Amino acid sequence: MIATATVWSQKPFTLSEDGTTLTKWTGLEAHVDMPTVALTYPELDAVTTIAADAFAGNTTMTHLTISKNVSDIWPYLFNGPDNIQSISVHSGNIHYKAVDGVLFNFEGTHLAYYPRAKAGTTYTIPADVTMIWGGLGFYRNMNLTKIILPATGFQIMMDHAFWGATALKTIDNLDKIEGTSIPSAAFSDCWSLESITLPANITTIGEKAFFNLRDITEITSLNTTPPTLGNNVFAWDSWLNEHMLTQTRTVYVPSAAAKTAYEGSDWGTIFGHDNIQEIIATSIGELNNQSDMAIWVKDNKFQVKDNEYGSELSFNIFNSTGQLVQSLSNLSETIDQNLKGLYIVKVKRAGEAIKSFKIML
Protein backbone atom coordinates (compact mmCIF):
# COMPACT_ATOMS: atom_id res chain seq x y z
CA MET A 1 0.00 0.00 0.00
CA ILE A 2 1.30 3.46 -0.88
CA ALA A 3 0.96 6.02 1.91
CA THR A 4 -0.95 9.17 1.04
CA ALA A 5 -0.49 12.64 2.44
CA THR A 6 -2.83 15.58 2.76
CA VAL A 7 -2.48 18.03 -0.12
CA TRP A 8 -3.55 21.62 0.57
CA SER A 9 -4.67 23.99 -2.15
CA GLN A 10 -3.35 26.74 0.10
CA LYS A 11 -1.57 27.00 3.42
CA PRO A 12 -3.83 25.73 6.25
CA PHE A 13 -2.59 28.39 8.65
CA THR A 14 -1.63 32.04 9.02
CA LEU A 15 1.34 33.43 10.90
CA SER A 16 2.25 36.72 12.47
CA GLU A 17 4.31 39.17 10.43
CA ASP A 18 7.55 37.97 12.00
CA GLY A 19 6.56 34.34 11.44
CA THR A 20 6.93 33.27 15.07
CA THR A 21 3.25 33.12 16.09
CA LEU A 22 0.56 30.81 14.75
CA THR A 23 -2.39 33.19 14.63
CA LYS A 24 -4.98 31.00 12.91
CA TRP A 25 -5.34 27.40 11.77
CA THR A 26 -7.64 27.33 8.75
CA GLY A 27 -7.35 23.64 7.84
CA LEU A 28 -10.29 21.32 8.43
CA GLU A 29 -8.47 18.03 9.08
CA ALA A 30 -9.27 16.00 12.22
CA HIS A 31 -5.59 15.57 13.12
CA VAL A 32 -3.81 18.90 13.13
CA ASP A 33 -0.25 17.62 12.82
CA MET A 34 2.03 20.65 12.87
CA PRO A 35 5.33 18.71 12.37
CA THR A 36 3.94 16.91 9.31
CA VAL A 37 2.54 20.09 7.80
CA ALA A 38 5.97 21.69 8.32
CA LEU A 39 7.44 19.19 5.85
CA THR A 40 5.42 20.98 3.16
CA TYR A 41 5.52 24.44 4.71
CA PRO A 42 8.88 24.70 6.57
CA GLU A 43 8.02 28.14 7.93
CA LEU A 44 5.70 26.40 10.39
CA ASP A 45 8.78 25.03 12.16
CA ALA A 46 9.76 28.60 13.09
CA VAL A 47 6.61 29.01 15.20
CA THR A 48 7.35 29.48 18.89
CA THR A 49 3.95 30.80 20.01
CA ILE A 50 0.39 29.62 19.46
CA ALA A 51 -2.05 32.51 19.84
CA ALA A 52 -5.10 32.25 22.08
CA ASP A 53 -7.63 32.22 19.23
CA ALA A 54 -5.61 30.11 16.78
CA PHE A 55 -8.22 27.32 16.91
CA ALA A 56 -11.27 29.42 17.76
CA GLY A 57 -14.40 28.01 16.15
CA ASN A 58 -12.65 24.82 15.03
CA THR A 59 -15.17 21.96 15.16
CA THR A 60 -13.29 19.37 13.13
CA MET A 61 -10.03 18.97 15.09
CA THR A 62 -9.94 15.91 17.35
CA HIS A 63 -6.17 15.60 17.79
CA LEU A 64 -3.37 18.18 17.89
CA THR A 65 0.35 17.51 17.53
CA ILE A 66 2.46 20.46 18.65
CA SER A 67 5.68 21.15 16.75
CA LYS A 68 9.17 21.07 18.24
CA ASN A 69 9.90 24.79 18.65
CA VAL A 70 6.65 25.87 20.33
CA SER A 71 7.58 27.34 23.70
CA ASP A 72 4.60 29.55 24.47
CA ILE A 73 0.95 28.50 24.38
CA TRP A 74 -1.29 31.39 25.23
CA PRO A 75 -3.84 30.90 27.99
CA TYR A 76 -7.34 30.16 26.68
CA LEU A 77 -5.97 28.53 23.52
CA PHE A 78 -8.37 25.62 23.99
CA ASN A 79 -11.44 27.79 24.53
CA GLY A 80 -12.42 27.22 20.90
CA PRO A 81 -12.07 23.56 19.75
CA ASP A 82 -15.07 21.61 21.04
CA ASN A 83 -14.16 18.10 19.93
CA ILE A 84 -10.49 17.73 20.82
CA GLN A 85 -9.77 14.29 22.26
CA SER A 86 -5.99 14.16 22.62
CA ILE A 87 -2.79 16.15 22.32
CA SER A 88 0.71 15.01 21.43
CA VAL A 89 4.00 16.89 21.28
CA HIS A 90 6.98 16.52 18.94
CA SER A 91 9.71 14.52 20.69
CA GLY A 92 12.20 17.35 20.12
CA ASN A 93 10.15 19.91 22.04
CA ILE A 94 11.89 20.87 25.31
CA HIS A 95 9.05 23.04 26.65
CA TYR A 96 5.97 20.79 26.60
CA LYS A 97 5.12 17.11 26.72
CA ALA A 98 1.96 15.02 26.53
CA VAL A 99 1.12 12.05 28.71
CA ASP A 100 -1.82 9.89 27.64
CA GLY A 101 -3.12 12.74 25.50
CA VAL A 102 -2.92 15.36 28.29
CA LEU A 103 -0.68 18.44 27.90
CA PHE A 104 1.96 19.31 30.55
CA ASN A 105 5.00 21.50 30.77
CA PHE A 106 8.18 19.59 29.92
CA GLU A 107 9.04 18.94 33.58
CA GLY A 108 5.59 17.49 34.21
CA THR A 109 4.92 19.82 37.14
CA HIS A 110 2.21 21.96 35.48
CA LEU A 111 -0.92 20.55 33.91
CA ALA A 112 -1.79 22.80 31.00
CA TYR A 113 -4.81 21.15 29.40
CA TYR A 114 -6.94 18.02 29.65
CA PRO A 115 -8.76 17.66 26.28
CA ARG A 116 -12.43 18.49 26.45
CA ALA A 117 -13.70 15.41 24.62
CA LYS A 118 -11.11 12.92 25.90
CA ALA A 119 -12.73 9.56 26.73
CA GLY A 120 -12.96 8.42 30.34
CA THR A 121 -14.91 9.45 33.44
CA THR A 122 -12.14 9.49 36.08
CA TYR A 123 -8.74 11.16 35.97
CA THR A 124 -5.97 11.14 38.57
CA ILE A 125 -3.62 14.10 38.23
CA PRO A 126 -0.05 12.77 38.51
CA ALA A 127 1.55 13.23 41.93
CA ASP A 128 4.40 15.35 40.48
CA VAL A 129 1.99 18.05 39.28
CA THR A 130 2.07 21.12 41.52
CA MET A 131 -0.43 23.34 39.73
CA ILE A 132 -2.90 23.87 36.89
CA TRP A 133 -1.45 26.64 34.78
CA GLY A 134 -2.11 27.81 31.22
CA GLY A 135 -4.26 26.27 28.53
CA LEU A 136 -7.37 26.25 30.75
CA GLY A 137 -6.89 22.97 32.60
CA PHE A 138 -10.21 21.08 32.58
CA TYR A 139 -12.18 23.91 30.99
CA ARG A 140 -15.56 22.76 29.57
CA ASN A 141 -14.69 19.08 29.97
CA MET A 142 -17.64 16.98 28.89
CA ASN A 143 -16.91 13.45 30.20
CA LEU A 144 -15.16 13.49 33.58
CA THR A 145 -17.29 12.75 36.64
CA LYS A 146 -14.39 12.45 39.10
CA ILE A 147 -10.98 14.15 39.34
CA ILE A 148 -8.41 13.13 41.94
CA LEU A 149 -6.02 15.93 42.84
CA PRO A 150 -2.51 15.24 44.21
CA ALA A 151 -2.61 14.85 47.99
CA THR A 152 0.38 17.13 48.61
CA GLY A 153 2.07 20.16 47.08
CA PHE A 154 -0.75 21.11 44.68
CA GLN A 155 -2.52 24.39 44.02
CA ILE A 156 -4.94 25.80 41.48
CA MET A 157 -3.41 28.88 39.87
CA MET A 158 -5.59 29.36 36.80
CA ASP A 159 -8.91 31.20 36.53
CA HIS A 160 -11.58 28.99 34.93
CA ALA A 161 -9.48 25.85 35.61
CA PHE A 162 -12.59 23.62 35.90
CA TRP A 163 -15.13 26.01 34.39
CA GLY A 164 -18.04 24.29 32.66
CA ALA A 165 -17.04 20.70 33.52
CA THR A 166 -20.72 19.92 33.71
CA ALA A 167 -20.47 16.17 34.38
CA LEU A 168 -18.01 16.54 37.29
CA LYS A 169 -19.53 15.20 40.52
CA THR A 170 -16.59 14.79 42.87
CA ILE A 171 -13.11 16.24 43.36
CA ASP A 172 -10.92 14.24 45.72
CA ASN A 173 -8.27 16.03 47.81
CA LEU A 174 -9.68 19.50 47.25
CA ASP A 175 -9.34 19.86 51.02
CA LYS A 176 -5.57 19.36 50.68
CA ILE A 177 -4.73 22.02 48.09
CA GLU A 178 -2.09 24.58 48.99
CA GLY A 179 -2.13 28.35 48.59
CA THR A 180 -4.53 30.84 50.13
CA SER A 181 -7.05 31.47 47.37
CA ILE A 182 -9.48 29.85 44.95
CA PRO A 183 -9.14 31.65 41.58
CA SER A 184 -12.05 33.41 39.90
CA ALA A 185 -14.56 31.13 38.12
CA ALA A 186 -12.40 28.11 38.96
CA PHE A 187 -15.43 25.82 39.36
CA SER A 188 -18.09 27.97 37.74
CA ASP A 189 -20.82 25.98 35.93
CA CYS A 190 -19.72 22.64 37.37
CA TRP A 191 -23.41 21.78 37.55
CA SER A 192 -23.04 18.26 38.93
CA LEU A 193 -20.70 18.93 41.88
CA GLU A 194 -22.48 17.65 44.98
CA SER A 195 -20.14 18.74 47.77
CA ILE A 196 -16.86 20.57 48.29
CA THR A 197 -14.40 20.82 51.18
CA LEU A 198 -12.09 23.83 51.39
CA PRO A 199 -8.89 23.55 53.47
CA ALA A 200 -8.07 25.80 56.41
CA ASN A 201 -5.43 27.70 54.41
CA ILE A 202 -7.99 29.21 52.00
CA THR A 203 -8.54 32.86 52.98
CA THR A 204 -10.02 34.33 49.77
CA ILE A 205 -12.34 32.99 47.09
CA GLY A 206 -12.41 34.75 43.72
CA GLU A 207 -15.37 36.10 41.79
CA LYS A 208 -17.82 33.42 40.62
CA ALA A 209 -15.48 30.65 41.80
CA PHE A 210 -18.48 28.38 42.52
CA PHE A 211 -21.09 30.08 40.35
CA ASN A 212 -24.00 27.99 39.03
CA LEU A 213 -23.32 24.85 41.06
CA ARG A 214 -26.73 23.37 40.43
CA ASP A 215 -26.45 20.16 42.48
CA ILE A 216 -24.34 21.37 45.41
CA THR A 217 -25.84 20.62 48.83
CA GLU A 218 -22.83 20.65 51.18
CA ILE A 219 -19.95 23.11 51.48
CA THR A 220 -17.33 22.52 54.16
CA SER A 221 -14.84 25.25 55.04
CA LEU A 222 -12.12 24.22 57.48
CA ASN A 223 -10.87 27.76 58.13
CA THR A 224 -12.12 29.04 61.49
CA THR A 225 -12.11 32.55 59.96
CA PRO A 226 -14.57 33.00 57.08
CA PRO A 227 -12.71 33.32 53.76
CA THR A 228 -13.28 36.65 52.01
CA LEU A 229 -15.69 36.24 49.11
CA GLY A 230 -15.52 37.93 45.71
CA ASN A 231 -18.65 38.86 43.79
CA ASN A 232 -21.23 36.12 43.09
CA VAL A 233 -19.04 33.30 44.43
CA PHE A 234 -21.96 31.01 45.22
CA ALA A 235 -24.63 32.72 43.10
CA TRP A 236 -26.88 31.21 40.44
CA ASP A 237 -27.78 32.73 37.12
CA SER A 238 -31.31 34.05 36.65
CA TRP A 239 -32.77 30.74 35.43
CA LEU A 240 -31.30 28.67 38.26
CA ASN A 241 -32.18 31.35 40.76
CA GLU A 242 -35.81 31.06 39.68
CA HIS A 243 -35.94 27.27 39.67
CA MET A 244 -33.64 26.34 42.60
CA LEU A 245 -35.09 28.46 45.38
CA THR A 246 -36.12 25.39 47.41
CA GLN A 247 -32.67 23.74 47.36
CA THR A 248 -30.90 23.86 50.71
CA ARG A 249 -27.14 24.33 50.79
CA THR A 250 -25.50 23.64 54.14
CA VAL A 251 -22.15 25.09 55.15
CA TYR A 252 -20.11 23.09 57.69
CA VAL A 253 -17.44 24.86 59.75
CA PRO A 254 -14.93 23.57 62.36
CA SER A 255 -16.31 24.92 65.65
CA ALA A 256 -19.08 26.80 67.43
CA ALA A 257 -16.93 29.94 67.40
CA ALA A 258 -16.41 29.56 63.66
CA LYS A 259 -20.16 29.16 63.18
CA THR A 260 -20.71 32.51 64.90
CA ALA A 261 -18.03 34.15 62.76
CA TYR A 262 -19.47 32.78 59.51
CA GLU A 263 -22.99 33.82 60.47
CA GLY A 264 -21.78 37.39 60.95
CA SER A 265 -20.02 37.50 57.58
CA ASP A 266 -21.09 37.42 53.93
CA TRP A 267 -21.48 33.66 54.35
CA GLY A 268 -24.35 34.23 56.75
CA THR A 269 -26.01 36.64 54.32
CA ILE A 270 -25.73 34.20 51.43
CA PHE A 271 -26.68 30.94 53.13
CA GLY A 272 -28.63 32.05 56.20
CA HIS A 273 -27.71 31.38 59.81
CA ASP A 274 -29.72 28.15 60.00
CA ASN A 275 -27.71 26.64 57.15
CA ILE A 276 -24.30 27.18 58.76
CA GLN A 277 -23.51 24.26 61.04
CA GLU A 278 -20.63 23.15 63.21
CA ILE A 279 -18.92 19.93 62.11
CA ILE A 280 -19.80 17.46 64.83
CA ALA A 281 -19.39 13.75 65.28
CA THR A 282 -23.13 13.22 64.91
CA SER A 283 -22.60 13.46 61.14
CA ILE A 284 -21.49 9.81 61.35
CA GLY A 285 -24.01 8.68 63.94
CA GLU A 286 -24.48 10.00 67.48
CA LEU A 287 -23.06 7.89 70.29
CA ASN A 288 -24.60 7.89 73.75
CA ASN A 289 -22.65 7.02 76.92
CA GLN A 290 -19.29 7.43 75.19
CA SER A 291 -16.15 6.04 76.73
CA ASP A 292 -13.96 8.69 78.38
CA MET A 293 -10.71 7.05 77.26
CA ALA A 294 -7.97 9.49 76.25
CA ILE A 295 -6.83 9.06 72.64
CA TRP A 296 -4.16 10.97 70.74
CA VAL A 297 -1.86 10.55 67.74
CA LYS A 298 1.88 9.95 67.88
CA ASP A 299 4.11 8.88 64.98
CA ASN A 300 1.01 8.54 62.78
CA LYS A 301 -0.57 5.99 65.11
CA PHE A 302 -3.40 6.23 67.63
CA GLN A 303 -2.32 6.07 71.24
CA VAL A 304 -4.66 5.18 74.12
CA LYS A 305 -3.92 6.05 77.75
CA ASP A 306 -3.98 3.07 80.10
CA ASN A 307 -5.24 0.88 77.27
CA GLU A 308 -7.17 -2.01 78.78
CA TYR A 309 -8.66 -3.24 75.54
CA GLY A 310 -5.51 -4.42 73.77
CA SER A 311 -6.11 -5.54 70.21
CA GLU A 312 -9.90 -5.19 70.50
CA LEU A 313 -9.84 -1.53 69.40
CA SER A 314 -10.40 -0.48 65.78
CA PHE A 315 -10.73 2.96 64.22
CA ASN A 316 -12.75 4.36 61.31
CA ILE A 317 -11.68 7.79 60.06
CA PHE A 318 -14.25 9.97 58.26
CA ASN A 319 -13.78 13.27 56.45
CA SER A 320 -15.82 16.34 57.33
CA THR A 321 -18.70 15.31 55.06
CA GLY A 322 -19.00 11.87 56.64
CA GLN A 323 -17.15 9.85 53.97
CA LEU A 324 -15.04 6.96 55.28
CA VAL A 325 -11.42 7.58 54.25
CA GLN A 326 -9.51 4.94 56.26
CA SER A 327 -10.10 1.97 58.55
CA LEU A 328 -7.52 0.75 61.06
CA SER A 329 -8.06 -2.66 62.61
CA ASN A 330 -5.71 -2.13 65.57
CA LEU A 331 -3.37 0.33 67.29
CA SER A 332 -0.30 -0.87 65.40
CA GLU A 333 -1.59 0.26 62.00
CA THR A 334 -0.45 3.61 60.65
CA ILE A 335 -2.69 6.55 59.76
CA ASP A 336 -2.42 7.58 56.11
CA GLN A 337 0.13 10.42 56.09
CA ASN A 338 -1.79 12.11 53.25
CA LEU A 339 -4.74 12.80 55.56
CA LYS A 340 -4.54 16.49 56.43
CA GLY A 341 -7.18 18.65 58.05
CA LEU A 342 -10.21 17.98 60.25
CA TYR A 343 -11.48 14.41 60.56
CA ILE A 344 -13.95 12.44 62.66
CA VAL A 345 -12.86 9.19 64.27
CA LYS A 346 -15.20 6.44 65.40
CA VAL A 347 -13.66 3.94 67.80
CA LYS A 348 -14.93 0.40 68.10
CA ARG A 349 -14.22 -2.28 70.69
CA ALA A 350 -14.78 -5.81 69.44
CA GLY A 351 -16.97 -4.35 66.69
CA GLU A 352 -19.11 -2.15 68.97
CA ALA A 353 -18.84 1.64 68.68
CA ILE A 354 -17.72 3.15 71.99
CA LYS A 355 -16.42 6.63 71.14
CA SER A 356 -16.37 9.28 68.41
CA PHE A 357 -14.33 12.47 68.34
CA LYS A 358 -12.93 15.20 66.08
CA ILE A 359 -9.23 15.37 65.36
CA MET A 360 -6.97 17.67 63.33
CA LEU A 361 -4.34 15.67 61.43
Residue 285's pLDDT is 45
- Mean pLDDT rounded to a whole number for the chain: 86
Residue 101's pLDDT is 96
pTM assigned to the model: 0.77
Over residues 168-188, the mean pLDDT reads: 92
Residue 260's pLDDT is 95
Q: Say how far apart CA 219 and CA 175 lie, in whole Å.
A: 11
Q: Say how far apart CA 25 and CA 106 lie, in whole Å.
A: 24
> Between vectors from CA 343 to CA 337 and to CA 344, what angle results, nearest 5°?
130
Same fold, 13-280 and 282-360: no
Does 321 or 232 have the greater pLDDT score?
232
Q: Say how far apart CA 143 and CA 168 lie, in whole Å.
A: 8
Q: Say how far apart CA 180 and CA 168 lie, in whole Å.
A: 23
Where are the chain's structural domains?
A: 13-280, 282-360
pLDDT at 168 over 50: yes
Amino acid at 276: I
The CATH class, in words, for 13-280 is: alpha beta
282-360 has CATH 2.60.40 classification: yes
Residue 239's pLDDT is 67
pLDDT at 5 over 60: no
Residue 7's pLDDT is 56
Residue 4's pLDDT is 44
pLDDT at 202 over 90: yes
305 pLDDT band, cuts 50/70/90, is confident
Least confident interval from 157-166, 276-285, 346-355: 276-285
Amino acid at 228: T
Of 121, 119, 169, 159, give the one whose Cα is nearest residue 139. 159
Over residues 143-164, the mean pLDDT reads: 91
Q: List, as one string, the DSSP characters of 152-178.
A: SS-EE-STTTTTT-TT--EEETGGG--
Judged by DSSP in three states, 238 sits in helix
283: left (phi over 0), alpha (psi -120 to 50) or beta: alpha
pLDDT at 147 over 50: yes
Question: How far are the Cα atoms of 108, 109, 162, 250 from residue 186, in angstroms, in the given order?
Answer: 21, 19, 5, 21
pLDDT at 241 over 70: no
pLDDT at 242 over 70: no
Residue 70's pLDDT is 96
Does 326 or 359 have the greater pLDDT score?
326
Does 87 or 294 have the greater pLDDT score?
87
Residue 237's pLDDT is 75
Residue 240's pLDDT is 64
With a pLDDT cut of 90, the percent of the chain lying above it is 53
pLDDT at 56 over 80: yes
Residue 287's pLDDT is 45
Over residues 52-78, the mean pLDDT reads: 89
Q: What is the pLDDT of residues 81-113, one digit of tens each?
A: 789 999 999 999 999 999 999 999 999 999 999
Q: What is the pLDDT of residues 245-289, one digit of tens each?
A: 556 888 989 888 999 999 999 999 999 999 998 876 444 444 445
Judged by DSSP in three states, 79 sits in helix
